[in-house]
Amino acid sequence: MKRTLPPAVSIRQFAPPDVPQTSALHLNALPDDFVTRFGQRFLARYHLAFAESPYATVIVASDYATGKTVGALLGTLDTPAHYGWLVRHHGASLVLWAAVRAIRNPKLGWDLVRTRAARYIRGIARSFIPEKHSGKGEKSRDNGVGLLAHVMVAGDQRGCGIGSSLVEAYENRARHAGLERLELATLPDSRGAGPFYEKIGWEYGGARISQSGERFALYHRALLDEPRQEHSDIRPWSKRGESGC
């Protein structure tokens, strides 16, 4: 689905100087994400890890005139390989920032231990089991399924086509990387964005209760039924939309 972006907004690949703005945007736009509870310093490291991972991607929407980041998307191109890579390369600093935050906020620390500690420890242990192959961008255990982990648009820029353009850029990148399918989990109530995903062509895949006891709505998007597109990092300028965005 082709959309019209606001005039000065470009969709492009993340660069490290984007971190302060993408992590600040995450903090404001996704207050209900578990990772958000660990604060901006944790989020900054988390975004950098996604951007550096050969198995993930960060796509940014920025206002060319002001340099302001108005949207961002974090997605994987091979989910198990990405999280293994993240633990090995950024695990220590992520744990450090999470621990600092948890000491300052014991309720958060308790929630972390109660709902996720065992799973995270298993994940850390798994991440040190050698992969059969680990070349940059190669598929490993997940057979071409990517995870749209987070997408966010600044509050005053919503409804202008930025969110759908970010998802479309991710779909194109995933298709180009040879993925067959994308998945995501969103909160099932008004804090989530199920209706947005349905509007842009994703299919509802049922409800799930995570191992941490939280309820999610699952969505997926098959990629093979559409022609493979050449991947382009920067979209051309677009004309002003009718909405006045």
Ligand X SMILES: CC(C)(COP(=O)(O)OP(=O)(O)OC[C@H]1O[C@@H](n2cnc3c(N)ncnc32)[C@H](O)[C@@H]1OP(=O)(O)O)[C@@H](O)C(=O)NCCC(=O)NCCS
Site residues, ligand X (CB under 6 A): 29-30, 151-153, 158-164, 186, 192-193, 195-196, 199-200
Residues in the chain: 245
Contacts of 109 (CB under 8 A, 6+ apart): 102, 103
Residue 26 or 127: which CB sits closer to ligand X?
26
Residue 34 or 196: which CB sits closer to ligand X?
196
Q: Taking a C-beta distance cutoff of 8 angstroms, is the pair 58, 72 a contact?
A: yes
Residue 84 or 161: which CB sits closer to ligand X?
161
Buried b (16+ CB within 10 A) or exposed e, 111-130: bbeebeeeebeebeeebeee
CB atoms within 10 A of CB 197: 23
Helix (H, G, I), strand (E, B) or coil at 205: strand
Among 157, 219, 142, 150, smallest CA distance to 188 is for 219
Supply the minimum distance, in Å, between the C-beta of residue 158 and ligand X. Answer: 3
Residue 127 or 186: which CB sits closer to ligand X?
186
Supply the minimum distance, in Å, between the C-beta of residue 103 and ligand X. Answer: 29
Supply the minimum distance, in Å, between the C-beta of residue 243 and ligand X. Answer: 7
Helix (H, G, I), strand (E, B) or coil at 231: coil
Supply the minimum distance, in Å, between the C-beta of residue 104 and ligand X. Answer: 26
| Residue 176 exposure: Cα atoms within 13 Å on the Cβ side | 13
Residue 78 or 168: which CB sits closer to ligand X?
168
Query: For ligand X, which residue has the nearest CB?
Result: 163
Q: Taking a C-beta distance cutoff of 8 angstroms, is the pair 81, 55 a contact?
A: yes
Residue 79 or 140: which CB sits closer to ligand X?
79
Question: DSSP letter at 4?
Answer: P
Supply the minimum distance, in Å, between the C-beta of residue 101 and ligand X. Answer: 21
Instruction: Provide the H-helix boundaries in 60-210.
Output: 79-104, 106-115, 117-127, 162-176, 194-199
Supply the minimum distance, in Å, between the C-beta of residue 126 and ligand X. Answer: 25
Supply the minimum distance, in Å, between the C-beta of residue 222 and ligand X. Answer: 19
How far apart are alpha carbons 190 and 179 in whole angstroms?
A: 30
Residue 43 or 162: which CB sits closer to ligand X?
162
Q: Which amino acid is at 92?
A: A
